[in-house]
Amino acid sequence: MVEGISEVVEKDLELIESLLTIKDKVREEAIRVSREITRLSTEAIRLVHLRKFNEAGKLLNEASVAVKSLLEKLSDHPDLMYCGLIYGCLAEYVEARMLFDLTYKRKLTGLQELGVPYIPYLQGLGDVVGELRRLAIDLIKAGSFNEANLYIDVMEEIYQRLKKLSFPDALTPGLRHKVDVARRLIEDTKTLFINAYNASKLMEKLDLKSGYSKSNNV
């Protein structure tokens, strides 16, 4: 009896070992590609803020190819797909693509075209609010209030849409937190916008009065 059990266990473990050996190789490659996607996406975001859209677009094209390769590699290993590292890099890619699209193309690439699972899509959509805030603040500092207000409107639209997805964190991991963060960022940005806008109008009035007084004294 013991001998028979030993043979069964031995065969099963040999099979499992061969499967795990393949999975481990896939996992290592997935980690490498994930890090590359994150690097390309992070750098693309930096370049967008510098208004270097051609360079950012090239990096995002590279990232897109890497994303497709990653998803193909993991198609037979869905258990590896759902780990934090994979979803993290895909969310970073979505965030970078959305930022690029909004600032350069004035549109958004949808979920189907991005070709990513819906969870990193939602996570990336939530994260891009923070990058739009950075853009809005730079525009406010430059006195470009109309354009800054456009980005604030986009932030608000994303927030309003995301907050309607009221599901447990187990189904939409991290989304509730990102929605809460987005709300605070929008409120802070609106306050900054109003204060800066009112200050600029006050300065205009003071400049007009100063110019009027000088003209009367001539």
Show pLDDT as tens, one digit a residue, over the chain (218 residues).
556 677 778 788 889 999 899 999 999 999 999 999 999 999 999 999 999 999 999 999 999 999 999 999 898 888 888 777 899 999 999 999 999 999 999 998 899 999 999 999 999 999 999 999 999 999 999 999 999 999 999 999 999 999 999 899 989 999 999 999 999 999 999 999 999 999 988 887 766 556 545 555 55
User: How much is the pLDDT for 121?
Assistant: 96
HSE at residue 102, side-chain half, CA atoms within 13 A, is 26
- Inter-residue contact 41 to 89 (CB < 8 Å): yes
Task: Compute the distance between CA of residue 178 and CA of residue 167 in angstroms, rounded to an integer.
Answer: 13
User: How much is the pLDDT for 59?
Assistant: 98
Which residue is listed with tokens 């907050």? 163
Domains parsed from the chain with CATH numbers: 1-108 (1.20.58.2140), 117-218 (1.20.58.2140)
User: How much is the pLDDT for 50?
Assistant: 96
User: How much is the pLDDT for 6?
Assistant: 75
Burial grade of 143 (CB within 10 A; 0-12, 13-18, 19 or more): exposed
- Inter-residue contact 76 to 95 (CB < 8 Å): no
Which residue is listed with tokens 């300065």? 203
Contacts 24+ apart (CB under 8 A), 131-139: 131/45, 131/48, 131/49, 131/95, 131/99, 132/99, 132/102, 133/185, 133/186, 133/188, 133/189, 134/49, 135/49, 135/103, 136/189, 136/193, 137/189, 137/192, 138/49
Q: Please name the residues in contact with 42: beta carbons below 8 A apart, sequence gap of 6 or more.
A: 92, 96
User: How much is the pLDDT for 209?
Assistant: 57
User: How much is the pLDDT for 205?
Assistant: 75
Closest-CA residue to 36 (of 62, 75, 72, 71) = 62
User: How much is the pLDDT for 1?
Assistant: 57
